[in-house]
Structure formats: structure tokens, C-alpha cells
Amino acid sequence: MASVVPLKEEKLLEVELGELPSWILMRDFTPSGIAGAFQRGYYRYYNEYVNVKRGSIARLSLVLAAYVVFNYRRSHKELKHERPRKYH
Amino acid sequence: MNENLFASFITPMMFGLPLITLIVLFPSLLFPTSSRLVNNRLISLQQWMLQLVSKQMMSIPNTKGQTWALMLMSLILFIGSTNLLGLLPHSFTPTTQLSMNLGMAIPLWAGAVITGFRNKTKASLAHFLPQGTPTPLIPMLVIIETISLFIQPVALAVRLTANITAGHLLIHLIGGATLALMSINTTTALITFIILILLTVLEFAVAMIQAYVFTLLVSLYLHDNT
């Protein structure tokens, strides 16, 4: 293994390809671990794009657009029948 | 078309998991907490708006009623943000469910009435009889006032549900009509214009919360402090 830092603390983009399965298995999947992952992701996005002094509206609109896409995927099954077709 | 019209009001479940908890919690992501004196733009805007609303709404009741300020401000933020997020395409609005609105209306109304009864019993009971009624009318009027008191939480909840649901349904219907009429030209432009106006009017869903909280506040004020 050609890594200096212990495997457990490497970020995803710095893990080498041969180590990937053991990296995935080593992350903790307990509920508090998953909550910690969400928290870290949220704060990374927030601190980089929203928490600056003159944040733009573009980043907030990105969050809302992601919300729209999420809802579209959720209701895709019912929306399939409303497409304009000759034979439903 | 009949089944599809009401399909957007079904409680969303995905793989059997109640997705609705995520959707109800989502507006809280858009209101970050402030930890500094001078914050970023989003928090400053929200703080300014909150100050405006709370000054306008909390100046009316006296000291005892002003302890409810936190509750009422979070109520107006929650209902306002939930209604506005429901205007985005394909999204689900939790306030269209009567169960949730009743869960919000009944505890708040009951708290106001019970506070009024505990602290100013005589004055609260005196609300049941307006001043200067002729004597033969008194029994009937007491009954009518009691009914009007107990109908208040139901009216609060049903008002919010009915308004938001009716608005969403109208948008669905008129949008569907526009799509169907696309092959016939002149009517299409007219109906699209009506949709636009209707959507703008519906964005006064924010006015809806104003109505909600204001009504609640008036009732609270009357019952509590007079």
C-alpha cells in the first residue's frame, strides 16, 4: 500500500483504486455515523457557498432545483401516465 | 385525469419509508443559525424579515402575551416556508393534510383559552355574553357564543387546508387545460395568462400564514389579557 496516512482517515478522492473495497468496508454504517456523514456534507456545502459575506442566489437556487429533481424522481411513476401519447 | 388530480396529495412513501418526515424537515435547512454579529446575506435577510414581522405583530399584546413571541414567529416561518416550497413543481406540501393543521391549531388555541381561564376567570367567562343584550335573548346567545368558541380551532385548521389545497388543485386543472388546448390557438394564450396571474396570487400563500398567525394572535390576545 503506497499511502502515508492510515487508511481509515483518507478522503474518498485520495484513496487508491486497489484499496477501495477495504475503504468502503471500514466506514462505519451505524446511524450516528451516517448522521455524521450528512452533517459533514451539509457543512462543507454551507461553509463554502452560503456562509460567505456576499453569497449569491445561485447556490440557493441550486438547492431548490435539487429539491425539485428529487420530487420528480419520487413521483415519476404516477407522472408516466400523463405523457401526451396516442395510446396510453 | 380524475385519479391523477389528487395523486399529488397522497402522503409520499418510498420503499415503505415515511418520506414525509424528510419533506417536513427540509425547510429547516433553508434557515441557518447565526453565530456572528455580521452574518452572510441569507441570514441577514431572514433576520431583517423576522424583525419586521415580530415588531408588527408583537406590539399589540402586553407583557404576558409577548412571551408567546418565539412560538408565533417559528409558526409563521414554518407555515410560510412550507407553503412557498409547495409552489415549486412536483413538490409535496405538508400543510395540505388536515391532520397536520389540526395538530397545529388545537394545541395553540387550547393553550390560549386555558391561560385565559386560569388567570382571568371572570373576564374569560364574560366573553360569552356581549354587552347590552336584552334579557330574553341571554340563554340562546350564551349557547351561540359557546359554539363559536369551540369552532375556532377547527376553523383555523380547515381554513389553511382548504386554501392551500384549492390553490394547488386549480393550478393542476388550469395547467392541464392549457396543455389540452395547445392545438387550438387563441384560447391557449388567454389561459396561460390566467395561469400566470393565478400563480402570482397563490404566492400570497405567505398572506395565508399572515392570516393564520394573525387570527391566532388576536384570539390569544383577547383570551389572555383583554
Could you read off the pLDDT of B181-209 as tens digits, one per residue?
A: 776 777 777 778 788 788 778 767 766 77
Closest approach of B197 to chain A, Cα-based (Å): 22
Could you tell me the pTM of the whole model?
0.78
Q: Is B147 on the interface with A (CB under 8 A)?
A: no
Q: B70 near A85, Cβ under 8 Å?
A: no
**Are residues A60 and B91, on separate chains, in Cβ contact within 8 Å?**
no
Angle at A61 between CA A59 and CA A63, to 5 degrees: 75
Instruction: Give the pLDDT confidence of B161-176 residue by residue, as tens digits.
Output: 888 888 888 888 887 7
Confidence of residue A1 (pLDDT cuts 50, 70, 90): very low
Nearest to B42 among A50, A72, A82 (CB): A50
Four-point Cα dihedral A88, B4, B10, B15, nearest 10: 10
pLDDT value of residue B122: 76
d(CA B212, CA A33): 40
C-alpha B222/C-alpha B124 separation (Å) is 9
Closest chain A residue to B85, measured at CA:
A64
Query: Looking at the complex, does the CB of residue B4 fall below 8 Å from at least one CB of chain A?
Result: yes
Residues of B in contact with A71 (CB under 8 A): 88-92
Residues from chain B that touch A54, judged by Cβ atoms under 8 A, are 40-41
Report the SS3 class of residue B12: coil
Indicate yes or no: CB of A67 within 8 angstroms of CB of B91. yes
Q: How confident is the model at residue B16 (pLDDT cuts 50, 70, 90)?
A: very low
More confident position, B221 or B103: B103
**Are A72 and B85 within 8 A, CB to CB?**
no
Higher pLDDT, B147 or B2: B147
Q: Looking up cell 393542476, which residue turns up?
A: B172
Residue B175 at interface with chain A, using a CB cutoff of 8 Å: no
Residue of B nearest to A48 (CA): B40
Q: In A2-56, which residue ranges form alpha helices assigned H by DSSP? A: 20-26, 31-45
* Residue contact B26–A67, C-beta within 8 A: yes
Tens digit of each residue's pLDDT (9 = 90 or more) over B19-77: 788 888 888 888 877 777 777 777 888 889 889 888 887 777 767 777 888 888 888 88
Phi and psi dihedrals of B77, rounded to 5? -65, -45
Query: Quick one: average pLDDT of A3-27?
Result: 54
Q: Which of A42, A46, A81 is nearest residue B4 as measured by Cβ atoms?
A: A81
| Cα(B147)–Cα(B141) distance, integer angstroms | 10
Judged by CB atoms closer than 8 Å, whether chains meet at A55 and B14 is answered as no
Q: Which residues pair with B212 in a beta bridge?
A: none
Q: Which of B110, B144, B111 is nearest to B127 (CA)?
A: B144
Tell me the Cα Rg of chain A: 20
Q: Which DSSP symbol is given to B40?
A: -
Question: Could you give the CA distance from residue B215 to residue B217 in angstroms, rounded to a whole number?
Answer: 5
Interface with A, mutate which of B31, B90, B93, B182 (most A CBs under 10 A): B90
C-beta atoms of A46 and B32 within 8 A: yes
Residue A33 pLDDT > 60:
no
Mean pLDDT, residues A44-55 taken together:
63
A-chain residues near B7 (CB < 8 A): 75, 78
Question: How far apart are the two ends of chain B, measured CA to CA in Å?
Answer: 52
Tell me: pLDDT of A13 over 60. Answer: no
